[in-house]
Structure 1
Amino acid sequence: MNRATTMHKPHTFYIAGIYALALLLIYFLLPSHYAFADSEEEQIASVNKHKTSALSGPTIQIDPLFAYYKNRSAASIADEIVQNGYKSVRYFVVNENNINRELIEAFRERGIKVWALVLGNGSYSVEGFPAEWPSWQMQLLTPVNDGYYRFSPHSEGYVQWKKTRLAQLVREYPFDGIEVAEPYFPEWGGLESGLYGDVGPLAQAAFLKQYGHANIPDFRNPQNPDYYQTNQELYQDWIDFRVKAVNSFLNEVINGKGGVREARRDILVATWTLAIDAGPDSVTKLRELQGLDAAEMISAVRPDLHMLQTHWPDWTKPEEELPPQYIHNYQNFVDEIRAVHPNIPLGVQADIGSRTWMLKDRAWYNALGEVAQSMGIGTWTAYEYHLGKYMYDEAPVPTAIARPEHNKVLISFQKRIDEASAKLPGSLNIITKDCETTIAPENITVDGNMLMIQSSDLPKKEFRLRIENITDEPPYWYYYKDGAPHVIASNTIVTVGKKNH
């Protein structure tokens, strides 16, 4: 996952519903409803109907630690996501010790399903971690200091800590689902760049224990009999060993004693693997280089959903080199999964703005969704909501009007707006048959994308409101913070109804 900064309600059952209750109990006692045969899945379809929006359609990733989400209420963030048409979000948990409960609850209050998206192979922050965390780290062929702490799935301490922490996370916070992205080993091209691991003592000890090899393959010296390109038997065991390590890690965290599913029987689970357009051998090369085998991972973990994450050699391409149809080139990954798991729901993840040269607009993202559906991929997401090109291209547009009280009007926009611009003379004008009346600045407040008018002078009946001057807020963007703000279209008029009932 690229960070641009560096990537129930209880039910009461009566006698007539005992059979349905039995099915529900069976469901919760199994690791995942995906383990059911089709006929059994149909029997519990009504139980899972409320989860549909979390498994299908467009969704978006949210990283609340970005400035765009600061100095505004959680309710306004949720409202903005609603105004942009999303029914599901993937909350990027950068650090399991820093989670915004109010934001999760605000999303759920608006009917938005919330996934906890956690990283499997490391963390951008070790604040609040146990003192022994340095002993969990992978060893790479070439050490790097890039702000990301990489942890080894061969570290029993890390595996148990991660399992305990994620179980605690789903118990304490009302997430609808949890997904472990990037559980893999680094890295595509790592044998050449040196960003390849784990090759340290943790991996060596595990390899000896599981496969009986005293040495791991040599990746530097072609003269060594155990050089990875020479000793193919050793190297193949090493490849299989790494795949097993990734999948065993995930299985333990999700399905192990004291893990996620034991903590929350009702929670949805998604697994993630990479996908890359690197020719016909892409599936095999990812297995070799990063320990990723999607079909084997699904068999091990039994998730409700599997996501294909766009790999960095693809998402870093310039916009003109990456049309939304690029995911057609991931068909080999889909085929690999479908050959073993024909019914597992699939999703795909894209990047819409982690670099300035590959910003994507709404049309691009909508087209990506159409391509995904044509491939039998039911859901799609992107990193990260406020990084999209639309943030830098679009002027504010009012998208919803509410009137909870006679003297209060709430106007929602598709992006956050500047309060000072809303309070300029003539920004908000009540239109009547005879005249226009300007709303005084002291009667106007702004919270993120939401503008509130509170005045006893508002007409009791339906009225029209002319909106001028209002701009967005470049200082809260990730790029182009010093850019000129976009101004709402001149002579924008909305209709304000009577008090909502």
Structure 2
Amino acid sequence: MPRGSAPANPLSSLYGRAIEIDPSFPYFQNRSPDSIAQELKVHGYRVVYYVLTADSDVQPALIRAFHRHGMRVWYATFLNGVYSRKDLPAGWSAWRMVTRGDLEGHPVQDGFTRLCLNNPQYRVWKKQQIVKMLKTYPFDGVALMEPYWPEYPGPQSPEYGCFCASCQASFQKMFPGSPLPDILHPESPNAPNRNPALWQNWLTFRRASVIAFLNDLINGPGGIRAETPSKPVCVWTLALDVPNAAQQLADIYGLDAAAIAAQVRPDAICFETDWPDWSRPDLPPDYVKRYASLFNAVRQVAPQMPLIMQADIGSEPQDRRSIEWIRAFEKACADLGLQGTLLYAYSLGDATYHEPPKVVKVRVLPHRIQLVFTSCVGASSAGDTLHYTFSGGALEKAIVDGNRVTLLLKAPPPKGARCTLTLRFIANDPARLLFHDAPPAILQEQTLSFVWQEGLNVSLAQSTP
């Protein structure tokens, strides 16, 4: 066991090598849930973080498909806002954060609606939503993503907040008679540089608010542990490569991972790579070593706490990571004694753009052959029988389902017949990708050999990305 690693945990099957998916991405559209689960399994993932930008979009069939393929599934939900407002109830606009941009009369319009952690109505609603999802659907646990105040690099950011009425009331309850800091006017007596004591109170308040919010959701009346005690909770925090990182994360975001571990006591903590780091095109795969002090701070107060490291592998073209980069990242995390790795997100990495699809599994069924590829294939090539040559007889039709193709035979060969199937010029499906900046990746030729026997499953050698 690597130095600093936690003892064996009964929930260990929920950690390990994990992947995030957002089924609203084009890559997961117009295909069966089983094909999605099988594709992730092909690449060695056994844990899935099912990201829901709107809870009403949940697909129970997809959860069941993951379970059928032996995978554990986290319900992953954002805490400091929403990307989709369609599930919000009447009156939700009163929950909005007030940011620097709002104070300046220039509201931030970036597609994300920030909701205040101190708003009591939002807290009640969010707690009820999480509990409802865990009771209604067979998730194995809940991942509480991004429970922080915006935003890097600090009060100069247009997203910085929150200055709403709920925050003002909560701040004055903690510090009676105290005004909110003035971050707009440097000459104000309440500006951070003019009133450092007020500013320190503000930073203390922001940290305490994050802890109180998480404690209420997880440990409070009607919360996750009271209503769904069998569901483990993974709380997300941030990791950033800056001097005195723990202090800066606390000051900028109100995040104190060690305090969360000690006071909230989640079942696991996930360190999300902050955007100034993940967006670097030159980010080395062992960058996690620079976060060791953050991990150690948690271990000092909660030595058995499972720690997970999240990395972005392609949210922007310049940070698209290769298979080799991912392997090196996972090794670096293991060397640090972390219990799991998590990638955001499947379909964003370099291999999906540039690695040709390849058959890794053949299944023989009555009058048909099912092929499982490493990635989604394009219907114009994979759905055309002219791209296949089968020694056992004529092909009638090719049906594409994401990363799977089913070949229908006009007549099956005799039982026990030795067969070969050659594929030529099978392309991936660039239309499914987030960015359309790469030509199709094309499998030039692949020949498969097998004995015709209904029910036969042949797995071919496949390197794990």
Question: Common fold, TM-score beyond 0.5?
Answer: yes
Q: Is 1:308–2:271 an aligned residue pair?
A: yes
TM-score w.r.t. structure 1 length? 0.85
Distance 1:254 1:139 in 2: 25
C-alpha contact (below 8 Å) 1:401/1:412 kept by paired residues: yes
Match of 1:448 among 386, 398, 402: 402
Contact 1:61 1:90 in 2 (8 A): yes
Match of residue 76 from structure 1 = 35
What letter is aligned with 2:70? G
In the aligned structure 2, how far is the partner of 1:125 from the partner of 1:268? 26
Match of residue 431, structure 2, among 455, 458, 475: 475
**In 2, Cα distance between the equivalents of 1:499 and 1:301?**
54
Distance 1:449 1:391 in 2: 12
TM-aligned CA distance change 1:219 to 1:365, over 3 Å: same
Partner of 1:222, secondary structure, is coil
Whichever residue aligns with residue 447 of structure 2, its letter is T
What residue in structure 2 maps to residue 197 of structure 1?
A: 161
Secondary structure at the residue paired with 1:192? coil
Contact 1:208 1:215 in 2 (8 A): yes
Give the distance between the partners of 2:248 and 2:383, measured in 1 at CA: 58
Which amino acid in the other structure matches residue 484 of structure 1? P
Q: Deviations over 1:115-149 (max 9, x none)?
A: 11110100011113111110001111123121111
Which residue is 2:253 aligned to?
Answer: 290
**Structure 1 residue 426: deviation in Å?**
4.1
Q: Aligned equivalents of 2:449 and 2:49: distance in 1?
A: 32
Q: Give, in angstroms, the shift of residue 494 of structure 1.
A: 4.0
Q: Which structure 1 residue ranges, 4+ long, deviate > 6 Å from structure 2?
A: none
Q: 1 CA distance for matches of 2:317 and 2:49?
A: 22
Q: Distance in 1 between matches of 2:383 and 2:176?
A: 73
Q: Report percent identity of matched pairs.
A: 32
Matches within 5 A, 1:134-145: 134-143=93-102, 144-145=108-109
For residues 446 and 225 of structure 1, the distance between their equivalents in structure 2, rounded to whole angstroms, comes to 67
Partner of 1:96: 55
Distance 1:496 1:163, change over 3 A: farther
Residues 1:463 and 2:427 aligned together: no
Q: Go from structure 1 to structure 2 and tell me whether the alpha carbon gap of 1:423 and 1:283 turns closer, same or farther (over 3 Å shift).
A: closer
> Could you tell me which of 132, 146, 150 is aligned with 2:110?
146
Instruction: Map residues 229-268 of structure 1 onto 2, 5 A cutoff.
Output: 229-268=193-232
1:184 aligns to 2:153 (yes or no): no
Q: Does 1:382 align with 2:338?
A: no
Alignment CA distance shift 1:371-1:213 (3 Å): farther
User: Quick check: 472-481 or 106-115, which moved more?
Assistant: 472-481
Q: Is the contact made by 2:395 and 2:408 (CA closer than 8 Å) also made in structure 1?
A: no
Deviation at 1:312, TM superposition (A): 0.6
Tell me what 1:22 maps to.
none
- Give 1:497 deviation, angstroms: 5.3
SS for the counterpart of 2:375 is: coil
1:182–1:272 contact (8 Å) kept in structure 2: yes
Q: Which amino acid aligns with 1:316?
A: S
Which residue does the alignment assign to 2:315?
354
> What is the distance in 1 between the residues matched to 2:352 and 2:446?
22
Match of 2:461 in 1: none
Per-residue CA deviations over 1:363-390 (Å, capped at 9, x if unaligned) read 1111100000111112111111111111
The equivalent residue for 1:26 is none
Which runs of no fewer than 5 residues in structure 2 stay unpaired? 1-5, 103-107, 457-465
- SS in structure 1 at match of 2:188: coil
CA separation of 1:238 and 1:489: change in aligned 2, threshold 3 A: same
Amino acid at match of 1:306: I
Structure 1 residues 303-342: aligned runs within 5 Å:
303-318=266-281, 321-342=282-303
What's the TM-score, normalizing by structure 2? 0.91
In 1, Cα distance between equivalents of 2:122 and 2:251? 23
Deviations 1:92-126 (A, max 9, x none): 11112221111111111111111111101000111
228-237 or 128-137: which moved more? 228-237
Bigger shift: 162-171 or 223-232? 223-232
In structure 1, the gaps of 5 or more residues are 1-37, 432-436
- 1:310-365 deviations in whole A, cap 9, x for unaligned? 001001111xx201011111112112111211111101111111111111011111
Change over 3 Å in CA distance of 1:290–1:141 after alignment to 2: same
Q: Within the alignment, does 1:344 sit opposite 2:299 as a pair?
A: no
Partner amino acid, structure 1, of 2:351: Y
Q: Say whether residues 1:54 and 2:14 are aligned partners.
A: yes
Mapped to 2, the partners of 1:449 and 1:270 lie a distance apart of 31
For structure 1, which segment, 254-263 or 470-479, has the greater mean C-alpha deviation from structure 2 after superposition?
A: 254-263
> Deviation at 1:53?
2.4
Single out whichever of 416-425 and 361-370 deviates more from structure 2: 416-425
Partner residue in 2 for 1:129 = 88
Q: Deviations over 1:416-468 (max 9, x none)?
A: 1123313435422233xxxxx564242x2121111112334234225332222
Q: Report the RMSD for the aligned CA atoms in angstroms.
A: 1.9
- Name the SS for the 1:445 alignment partner: strand
Query: What is residue 332 of structure 2 aligned with on the other side?
Result: 371
Contact 1:90 1:116 survives alignment (8 Å): yes
Whole-Å separation in 1 of the counterparts to 2:383 and 2:184: 66
Shift in CA distance, 125/439, structure 1 to aligned 2, threshold 3 Å: same
Distance in 2 between the 1:289 and 1:169 partners?
31
Distance 2:219 2:310 in 1: 24
Residue equivalent to 2:377 = 417
8 A Cα contact 2:95 2:121, kept in partner: yes
Is the CA contact (8 Å cut-off) linking 1:272 and 1:307 kept in structure 2? yes
Matched residue, 1:109: 68
Q: Give me the whole-angstrom Cα distance separating, in 2, the residues matched to 1:242 and 1:491.
A: 58
Supply the distance in 2 between the matched residues of 1:251 and 1:338 (Cα, whole angstroms): 20
CA gap 1:377/1:59 in 2 versus in 1, 3 angstroms: same
Specify the SS of the correspondent of 1:174: coil
Q: Count the aligned residue pairs.
A: 444
